[in-house]
Structure 1
């Protein structure tokens, strides 16, 4: 086997581990990351998981980082698709809805936030960075729609992020995606996810 083929296989294994770990963490949180179970899910030996991620903390931080990066890319793609900031704000909950559609899972950032006290420092930093990235994007969208002062935009952004994450949590606890939709619609009717004023 050539060195290039071996490198591609290692990269593929790493990506498969990250994907499996993301599914596990969205369903069971950081505590649900188990190297033996991940290895079985991916179809490799547990030692191979340790090759890529020497510790559970390394794996947890890598999963949370990738989740944050993927979410940031999705938010930027949404912004690029439309110049309408109000439409972006209305579409924002769709990112959280997708987790519910995928096996009644939670946003990884939300799940790990609930475990914050028990997380290794590297994972904590990624959880905070996830929330910060969401709030920064929402602040930018709100500023584009309304032109309010930066602190007012940040305050509203934190409210939107918290409200949408809370709606997801409530819907998950009842395995009821329709409840999520109803709560989000109520946010739109009250103006939290609609006209900004």
Structure 2
């Protein structure tokens, strides 16, 4: 199985196409033919880089999780207080949603988890675990400093935020509404205020 850090420029273009298709159509909604057309290559060339759709999906999810981790580190380095970190976190989802109501790669895959290959389900779970761990620490820090209410345990607050932001993207797409992750976080922060 390939790792996203080993990608050639050609393979990177295929992963970019796979990611965009996943965000719009889901894992079971696209084929290698769709990827080939989007990249402007023949289908056998896609198979040359990724022997299976599972391998492509795993690499897309790995890379997406890695980029998200990098963004979380950036938030930690640029935002000192928990409420500001949560707003910046919501902006990660908002930036994706602003691209034609695209969904989070792992949110979309999570919706299909019962029909995914085991290797891909593992990567999706890893994405959610990374996010929940980070959010839990943000809530613990905010509750400890008094910038966030301690009425809800940090772990539960973290789950609520992640579920709300993923859900905001789904509902926003379904309603064709601009009421996305940024606005949902603004509402949530009112309930988490100390």
TM-score by length of 2: 0.87
Give the distance between the partners of 1:180 and 1:15, measured in 2 at CA.
28
Correspondence list, 1:41-80, <5 A = 41-80=38-77
Task: Find the counterpart in structure 1 of residue 137 from structure 2.
Answer: 140
For the 8 Å contact 1:167–1:184, the answer to whether it is kept is no
Give the equivalent residue in structure 1 for 2:18. Answer: 21
Q: What's 1:175 paired with?
A: 176
**Pair 1:88–1:173, CA change in 2 (3 A):** same
- Alignment of 1:185 with 2:182, yes or no, is no
2:158 pairs with 1:157: yes
TM-fit CA distance, 1:166: 1.2
Matches within 5 A, 1:98-109: 98-109=95-106
Q: Helix, strand or coil: the match of 2:9? A: helix
Residue aligning to 1:7: none
Deviation track 1:107-138 (CA, whole Å, cap 9, x = no partner) reads 11111111011000011001111110110111
Deviations 1:39-97 (A, max 9, x none): 12111221111111100111111111111111111111111112222210122111111
What value does the CA root-mean-square deviation take over the aligned residues?
A: 2.0
Aligned-pair CA distance for 1:169: 1.3
Partner of residue 118 from structure 2, selected from 118, 121, 135:
121
**Gapped regions of structure 2 (runs ≥ 5):** 1-6
Measured in 2, the distance between the counterparts of 1:47 and 1:131 equals 33
* 2:95 is the counterpart of 1:85: no
Q: Distance in 1 between matches of 2:115 and 2:184?
A: 30
Match of residue 8 from structure 2: 11
- 1:110 is aligned to 2:107: yes
Partner Cα separation in structure 2 for residue 179 and residue 81 of structure 1 = 23
Aligned mates of 1:69, 1:180 — CA distance in 2? 21
Count of aligned residue pairs for this structure pair: 183
Distance across 2 between alignment mates of 1:183 and 1:65 = 27
